[in-house]
Structure 1
């Protein structure tokens, strides 16, 4: 291993079998706001989240230190990143550098997106977490 590199998670942390593999539907979602739920798993340095937005729900402008990469699985949303607005559909991707203001409004059919954040979204741990319920994806 090269100097300064980080060993893979498997050599530094032991996961139980139930933590290694989980159906999406079994993950307790974080309620980000009314009509917006994120089912997230955290690694050592990043968060992977499947985010469901109910039809016409919105995420007001905000920013966070985390870099955010994502893509739309189904539905659509109008995403404004750093003042530039685009309507995104299934298969579209986006990139948000840390601390850049952004907001989103789901389309009339709602939206499901996959987001990756680095570093880990530790701030989500204080959010309400309802019991698991069926996600919008997969149908």
Structure 2
């Protein structure tokens, strides 16, 4: 159920992507965009990427995210748990993620906030988009 200004948790409102195990719900505002991810633990499909003009703030809500962030050649991995978050300014590389699901759902829940909103409407995400601005 959604109202003009309030959005409620509804499992049926999460869209499947073309990457098995990745579901998302997207809310677009005038100055930011929210992607609520539900990702099955252990799935692959998050590639190292960056965004030309968008800042991305990711908040870990459930599960664990093991990923890279920084220079493209920096192999250092960061591990984030519920309540932790990251900020990827424009052009900063991030991704190459390992998702460890929580005990209750076996999923990782991430809230990604983009500012400004992404220029394209969310579309199915494929491996072919690796390394492009369109890859979240």
How much does 1:116 deviate?
0.7
Q: 8 Å contact 1:40–1:47 — kept in the other structure?
A: yes
More helix by share: 1
How much does 1:125 deviate?
2.7
More strand by share: 1
- TM-score, normalised to structure 2, is 0.70
How many residues in Structure 1 have an aligned counterpart in Structure 2?
112
Q: 8 Å contact 2:14–2:23 — kept in the other structure?
A: no
Q: 8 Å contact 1:81–1:96 — kept in the other structure?
A: yes
* Gap regions ≥5 residues in structure 2: 126-136
State the match for 1:107 in structure 2: 100
Deviations 1:52-79 (A, max 9, x none): 1111123111112211112111110102
- TM-score, normalised to structure 1, is 0.68
State the match for 2:3 in structure 1: 18
Hey, which bits of structure 1, 4+ residues long, moved more than 6 A? Answer: none
How much does 1:110 deviate?
3.0
State the match for 1:38 in structure 2: 24
Structure 1 distance, partners of 2:91, 2:82, is 25
- Specify the structure having the higher radius of gyration (Cα): 1
* Gap regions ≥5 residues in structure 1: 1-16, 129-139
RMSD of aligned alpha carbons: 2.3
